[in-house]
Amino acid sequence: MPKLTRRHMLAATAAGAASSLIAPRETQAACVPAHQPIEGDWPALEIAHGPSLQMPTPDGITIVCHTTRPALVWVEYGTGDKLDRKAVPSAHGVVNPFALNHVIRLSDLQPGTRYRYRIHAKTFLEYELANGRRWAHRVRYGQEIATEPRSFTTLDPAAANYAFYIVQDIHEHVQRFDEMLNVVEWDRTAFIALNGDMINDFMRPDQNFTGFLDLCVKRFAMETPIVYARGNHDIRGHYAPTLSEYMALHDGRAYYAFDHGPVHYIVLDSGEDKNDGHEYYGGLADFDRYIDEQARWLKQHLASEAAQRAPFRVAIFHIPPYNSDWYGEVRVRRKWIPILNEGNVNLALCGHQHELILLNPGTRDNNFPILIGDMNTIQRVDVSPQALNITVIRHSGKVEKELSITRRS
């Protein structure tokens, strides 16, 4: 087995150890570094990207960061001045000290509570050699670092008045995205929703960083969380199987629901916009089955007490059900719209069309308004127990459209 140099580990990490990516023989060996010391031209240990707060719920949040070299990472967190709790990125009880990408879930949190957190990292060097063999219980570590404490506040079903913002179809236009964020009123913003196609086909391992995620960290994501819905361009390309190492999943799924104030949010993954057998995908798409899976979950979930007792239900997904007869739209229309109608959804927020469109109830067979944002707008949603007030704002700051949805009797 070759020694684990930086070149080998970067290749292994880029492949994401995903079964769908075939790596060279030496890279496959490096994916599971059983006993070789990590050597080579690694830089000093730093948090290269992040941390970003993702997947917020009233009782948890996910922290994602990326290190310059393989490291053991953990989060210290707590309320007040205390950092007396610890979380590690483990899978089935096993902590991986060889990772560059780190996804850590903080759970069992209290709703509407301010927490402070700090990331620690230290380099794994080797299992120590003694009596001619390497011993699993003798681990040698190197450099250790820690970030400055940051804070966040968990979501709260009892919250009354707040705002959230949503953007879509940024397609790596970082400057435009930066300008959009200038309109955000941060002191009353609960989260920023990214509604898909933040990048253009995931073909480089750094694309999420340079395309939008580094800017999110710089502007807000260390203290204001991201709610993320995958777009068709985000899940396409060589590194698409590793997307969850950048944008976290919730209980292993890219679709989930959460409550904040009077709103019950449903985040869905609308998949690709063409049929699975289309030549464009080269046999790498399996979204028909996945959309059906979400439909079954959605029907059961919208019938739940949590969904039905909420004054408002808001669905967030990238590909809209209407405005063309492309396969992806027709599929969403047929599979999800009847369920969303039956579940008394109040609003759907979509993207994908690169055109600002408002589909009022009854435009087609939708019982609720569907707002499709374009590439140059950010939508602010002001939430109160009585109404959802939506303002569509150009990246220049100009108000383009306003919409109010009142609570149903």
Contact 380, 403 (CB under 8 A): no
Q: What is the pLDDT of residues 285-331, one digit of tens each?
A: 899 999 999 999 999 999 999 999 999 999 999 999 998 889 999 99
Residue keyed to tokens 């002001």: 382
* HSE-CB of 99 using CA atoms within 13 angstroms: 24
3-state helix, strand, coil split of the chain in percent (to 5) is 20, 35, 45
Peptide bond connecting 51 to the previous residue in cis, omega within 30 degrees of 0: yes
DSSP helix/strand/coil, 340: helix
| Separation in Å, CA 174 to CA 157, 170, 210, 222, 348 | 33, 7, 8, 18, 25
- Residue 31's pLDDT is 35
Is the pLDDT at 177 greater than 50? The verdict is: yes
- Residue 22's pLDDT is 31
Cα of first residue to Cα of last residue in the chain, in angstroms, is 68
Q: Cα(225)–Cα(61) distance, rounded to whole angstroms?
A: 8
- Residue 382's pLDDT is 98
196/129: higher pLDDT:
196
> For 87-100, b where at least 16 C-beta lie within 10 A, e where not — what string?
bebeeeeeebbbbb
Residue boundaries of the structural domains of the chain: 43-152, 156-406
Is the pLDDT at 21 greater than 80? The verdict is: no
Measured in degrees and rounded to the nearest 5, phi and psi for residue 353 equal: -80, -15
DSSP helix/strand/coil, 11: helix
User: Homologous superfamily of 156-406 in CATH?
Assistant: Metallo-dependent phosphatases (3.60.21.10)
Q: In the predicted model, what is the mean pLDDT of residues 377-390?
A: 97
Q: In the predicted model, what is the mean pLDDT of residues 57-74?
A: 97
pLDDT-based confidence at residue 182 (cuts at 50, 70, 90): very high
Q: Cα(378)–Cα(399) distance, rounded to whole angstroms?
A: 10
Q: Cα(71)–Cα(73) distance, rounded to whole angstroms?
A: 6
Q: In the predicted model, what is the mean pLDDT of residues 28-36?
A: 35
Contact 122, 72 (CB under 8 A): yes
Q: What is the pLDDT of residues 70-114, one digit of tens each?
A: 999 999 999 999 999 999 999 999 999 889 999 999 999 999 999
Q: In the predicted model, what is the mean pLDDT of residues 51-77?
A: 97
pTM of the model: 0.90
Contact 145, 192 (CB under 8 A): no
40/13: higher pLDDT:
40
Cβ atoms < 10 Å from Cβ of 72: 21
Vertex 289, ends 213 and 231: CA angle to 5°?
A: 20
Q: Cα(324)–Cα(364) distance, rounded to whole angstroms?
A: 12
Percent of the chain clearing pLDDT 90 (strictly above): 80
Q: Which residues are within 8 A (CB) of 409 and not within 5 positions of it... i.e. 6 or more apart?
A: none
Residue keyed to tokens 């374009």: 374
Q: Cα(105)–Cα(99) distance, rounded to whole angstroms?
A: 16
* HSE-CB of 33 using CA atoms within 13 angstroms: 25
Is the pLDDT at 356 greater than 50? The verdict is: yes
Q: In the predicted model, what is the mean pLDDT of residues 269-287?
A: 91
Contact 152, 53 (CB under 8 A): yes
Q: What is the pLDDT of residues 225-273, one digit of tens each?
A: 999 999 999 999 999 999 999 999 999 999 999 999 999 999 999 999 9
Q: In the predicted model, what is the mean pLDDT of residues 174-193?
A: 97
Domain 43-152 has CATH 2.60.40.10: yes
pLDDT-based confidence at residue 127 (cuts at 50, 70, 90): confident
pLDDT-based confidence at residue 26 (cuts at 50, 70, 90): very low
Contact 154, 59 (CB under 8 A): yes
